[in-house]
Chain A
Amino acid sequence: MSRQDVLVTADWAEKNLGTDGIVFLEVDEDTTAYDGGHLPGAVKINWTTELQDPVRRDIVDSDQFATLLSAKGVGNDDTVVLYGGNNNWFAAYAYWQFKLYGHADVKLLDGGRKKWELDGRTLTTDVVERPATTYTAKEPDNSIRAFRDEVVDAIGAKNLVDVRSPDEFSGKILAPAHLPQEQSQRPGHVPSAINIPWSKAANEDGTFKSDEDLAKLYGEEGYDADKATIAYCRIGERSSHTWVVLHELLGYADVKNYDGSWTEYGSLIGVPIELGAPEKKAS
């Protein structure tokens, strides 16, 4: 993978709106954002109701994923360009699911809605209809998905990258600060995890930092490029952003996203939890 395989610029996107074989999909944390204006021709995916199982706590399975994409009018041969608000958190989460179910050509709009809006580019409320397709999803590629037991086994052995904010890592707060803080799980982090907030990988306009800056960032923060990696956050969307950085942009081979993340780990009986700020690294 290289940057050109993973990201498209806003200029590229603007030129390719409406091009046959390219489908723009918007995925936002705020699931009403699309309705207030979206890229011309883009289709909405609701992460809460369409990317997760409606009953069990889990992402959709391959059959559900195939049904969803068929209904959205996405073909197996289409180039899918994902974008969204909040610095592409949920677009990155969708990107990771597209990879998990083996979609051949999926990309992220660098900067997402934020850069698009800051650039003053066109948003429309036009209704978008695409004819249904017959999409076939592959079996999940669990080499990019971590489950809870793997996380416990990874303590002290793999890179555990906690991408939440420092105050969530230390246990001072339990959720990102735009959400209410009352939660059932315990605060803290997985022992031996390093705290490299996802936001360090992004510029203020929501675009990813350069490959050079990203490699330098993780090197300085104690990331061991020779070890396998599990990234986690609270519910797996910010860690998808970091998964894109480590696996897709920097090309590290064994990187998994733990989508259960802190809401699962912090609720488990008996697993070790560490509290407090990360140790200061010698500079």
Chain B
Amino acid sequence: MCGAPDQAVALPPGTDLTKETVLTGRVVAGGEPVGGAFVRLLDGTGEFTAEVVASPSGQFRFFAAPGTWTVRALSRAGSGQAELTADGPGVHRAEVAVA
């Protein structure tokens, strides 16, 4: 992907990364991106916090707060989850493999 723009973080104009804690990443199955997966963010107690639909290239994005989060994806290709710890504002990445 040499030279390709970094599409992992498509943020709204004006997003202040010194204040916003952004959790972002990609849903994959067998290394290939899974578009249209339903991606939910669970808080440190496992409680639902938000849900988004992954982009055609499997990307998702949440605005959260520092802490420990679980990102869980559900798709026709299966389900899977990943843990993510955000130690402060800025962009934090995770990849979620579904099977």
Contact = CB atoms under 8 A, between A and B. Distances in A.
A56 interface: no
A167 B65 contact: yes
A182 interface: yes
A87 B20 CA distance: 25
B2 to A, nearest CB: 31
A68 interface: no
A165 B51 contact: no
Interface in B55-96: 61-65, 67, 74-76
Nearest to A204: B74
Q: Interface range on chain B: under 10, 10 to 19, 20 to 34, or 35 or more?
A: 20 to 34
A165 B48 CA distance: 7
A178 B20 contact: no
What's the dominant secondary structure at chain B's contact region? strand
Nearest to A180: B63
Interface stretch (A17-25, A93-101, A113-121, A148-156): A113-121
Interface string A148-190: 0000000000000000011100001101111111100000000
A120 B76 contact: yes
B53 interface: yes
A117 B50 contact: no
Contact of A165 (B43, B52, B76): B43
Given A166-B47, A177-B41, A117 B65 contact: no
Given A117-B36, A165-B48, A166-B43, A177 B62 contact: yes
B19 A165 contact: no
Contacts of A114: 38
Contacts of B62: 177-178
Contacts, number: 67
Contacts of B15: 180
B63 A181 contact: yes
A9 interface: no
What's the dominant secondary structure at chain A's contact region? loop
Q: Interface range on chain A: under 10, 10 to 19, 20 to 34, or 35 or more?
A: 20 to 34
Contacts of A85: 53
Which of B16, B49, B62 gathers the greatest number of chain A CB atoms within 10 Å? B49
Nearest to A202: B48
B36 to A, nearest CB: 7
Given A167-B65, A197-B48, 12 more contacts: A165-B48, A165-B49, A166-B47, A166-B49, A167-B49, A173-B65, A175-B63, A177-B49, A177-B64, A178-B50, A182-B16, A199-B47
Interface of A: 30, 33, 85-87, 114, 117-118, 120, 165-167, 172-173, 175-182, 197, 199-200, 204-205
25 contacts: A33-B53, A87-B51, A118-B38, A118-B74, A165-B47, A166-B43, A167-B49, A172-B67, A173-B49, A176-B49, A177-B41, A177-B49, A177-B50, A178-B41, A178-B51, A178-B62, A179-B63, A180-B12, A180-B15, A181-B20, A181-B63, A181-B65, A197-B48, A199-B47, A205-B74
